[in-house]
Amino acid sequence: MEENKKYRILGTLLYYVLRIISSTLKIEITNKYEIDMQKPHIYGFWHSKLFITPIFFKDVEKKLAMSSPTKDGELVSVPLEKMGYILVRGSSDKNQISSTISLLKYLKKGYSIGTPLDGPKGPKEKAKKGLLYLSQKTSVPLVPVGILYSKKWILKKTWDQFEIPKPFSKVKIFLGEPIIIKDEDDLDKYTEIVENGIKEIEAIMEAVFMCRDLVNRPANDIYPETLAKFAKEELEKVGVEVEVLEKKQIESLKMDAFLSVAQGSDLPPKFIIMKHLPNKDEKPIVLVGKGLTYDSGGYAIKPATGMVTMKTDMGGSASVISTMYAVGKMKVQRNVIALVASCENMINGHAYRNGDIISSMKGSTIEVINTDAEGRLTLADAIYYGASKLNPECIIDVATLTGACIQALGSRVIGAVSNNDEVFAKIKESADFMGEYLWRFPVYEEHKESVKGKVGDLLNVTAPGTGGAITAGVFLEHFVENTPWVHLDIAGPSYSSSAWGTNPEGASGTPVKTLYNFVKKYNKK
């Protein structure tokens, strides 16, 4: 009895610790399936994420929780009771008759339950059949829940490596697709479905966080060398092959447009090639990300206020690197290659100038009208490399490319230019499914005429009033070699000075979710 009292006291202290920490957290909930949380659901998550779940479900009116008949169970029961949970002591294992009967009774009365899928003792991240059995017998949907902390403590001596979010960290919670288990269904099949579902949810969230962190880091921290190092270290952990080409190798490829932009910086450029090739003889999807780790504007120098956020000009590269992380971690059965031409656009005695005529890997010449339209020059060589050397199924390029896109669509919408209706439809479907906004620009013959040069083959900037977001895409199309292609201008939604929707202040992680879903679901039909 005295021991029980002790754990009740500790449980009360835990409750107040929970309240204090949770009050500092920035919790972001993604509910793309529009689950009505006031209706009965069974929410399944991993035991290691148990800390945050009482807070997440606090606004659900009719909620219950399982608490094991152990000392740990006594400890956690106190905060749960104080948060309005109905407690059932025992195990969700269907062999535990009394607790199972209680849970069935409450679920049929319209209550929801959130409890670890891997139980109170594990093994770690291996779904037990208890919750699946409850869902099957009540027809209450089972919702896989993915949870990720941006900063956390890990209790390494616990069986599940229990995680506690650090104060003021960000918490991302993703509600997966509800699963209905019929009476005749085999529960063994569903354990794998649920495990893979949560793993995928958390892989996508990790990738979004990775992208945000990369974009938010300052330019003296993330520059071509460190970006390449980051890609190599993080992607090789999940089985993605990474090759980094140095300046001499880039020169041997005659990537003169890319090198022209890079030559104004003392920091050498890097060409990053990331490969995930699980299938023999399958054409790869090629992702190309703009990799300007800082953009001063060059000799068309930006005003001081305009340069403050130019660390974010590598948002395209961050998104494709992060997408490759999720693809590799989930071992997606689709060949994908990502390319990043990374450099800075700076000013020194070697920097390219307004009025220069430069070449490109393709051999086409470009009149430099504005050195602040540098991203399309680096992308031109990267895209052509993909088109000419990788025999791609399609090419998707991602770039914080134009202010004109923001003027046209606002700061929350991705602008698109494409030469292929079918591929665009697939990426639009992916964007819609993942809750990211995407709009396709029209392209007319006049747009194509406007990018033609008078001395060189192309102009890197067209005259005012010609549709800058469109003509930037048309410029890039010149280098795709008739490959099915979509250009995504993320200048607006990649970074924001204030929070909106599920996006925080700062980098959003756009369009990692769209790219991952596109790659996973892509087919030729």
As a whole number of angstroms, the distance between CA 383 and CA 381 comes to 5
Q: 511 and 436 in contact (C-beta within 8 Å)?
A: yes
Strands (E), 255-410: 270-276, 285-295, 336-345, 357-358, 366-367, 394-399
Place of tokens 């369009």: 511
| Helix (H) / strand (E) containing 479 | none
As a whole number of angstroms, the distance between CA 177 and CA 34 comes to 10
By the 10 Å C-beta count (0-12 exposed, 13-18 middle, 19+ buried), 95 is classed as exposed
Q: Given 275, 376, 426, 428, which residue is catalytic?
A: 376
Q: What residue type is 285 in one-letter code? A: I
Tokens coding 455: 């001395």
By the 10 Å C-beta count (0-12 exposed, 13-18 middle, 19+ buried), 374 is classed as buried
Q: Is 376 a catalytic residue?
A: yes
Backbone angles phi, psi at 292, to 5 degrees: -80, 105
By the 10 Å C-beta count (0-12 exposed, 13-18 middle, 19+ buried), 251 is classed as middle
Place of tokens 């009774």: 105
As a whole number of angstroms, the distance between CA 121 and CA 68 comes to 10
Nearest Cα to 118, choosing from 68, 177, 59, 57? 68
Tokens coding 280: 């023999």
Start-end of H helices in 167-240 = 187-216, 224-236
Provide the sign of the torsion angle of the four alpha carbons 36, 41, 45, 49, taken in this order: positive
Backbone angles phi, psi at 201, to 5 degrees: -55, -50
**Omega within 30 of 0 (cis) for the link into 120:** no
How far from 492 is each of 378, 402, 405, CA to CA, in Å?
20, 9, 7
Q: Given 62, 82, 170, 302, which residue is catalytic?
A: 302
Q: Which residues pair with 295 in a beta bridge?
A: 345
As a residue count, the chain comes to: 525
Catalytic residues, which ones? 302, 376
